[in-house]
Amino acid sequence: MARVVTYISPQRQLKDVESILLEEIRGLDIYQLPTSEQRLITRIKNELVDSRLYIRDYESSETRQVQLDIATKLQHVLNHLLKNILKLSEYNILSAVDVAQISALLSLIMENTV
């Protein structure tokens, strides 16, 4: 029997990452957190926005060369995002399951945008 492989766009995968992260962050009173954690959450939110914009540009680029240029920038932002998510988990804001799921999704995005 043949297997059906479903393609999920990088944009959809990033939305899943955002949903997981924002669901956990939404339950926090950010202003009660130490400054270092507040800054980390702000950086993560900014990296999510940057990633979304790069993915949009990647998917709408007209040439392969432009895609490759954008992919390089996207990979850089996604790597920083992953590092910051790992730091966030050190503050027990994210569970190990959330971190594993987010890491897997970010890896898929990186593989699909090369």
Number of domains into which the chain is organized: 1
- The answer as to whether 5 is a domain residue is no
Note down the domain range covering 85: 10-112
Report yes or no: 113 and 71 within 8 Å, Cβ to Cβ: yes
Q: Which stretches in the chain have pLDDT values below 50?
A: none
Instruction: Identify the pLDDT of residue 101.
Output: 95
Chain segment 16-34, per-residue pLDDT in tens: 999 999 998 888 888 899 9
Instruction: Identify the pLDDT of residue 1.
Output: 64
The string of DSSP codes covering 63-75 is SHHHHHHHHHHHH
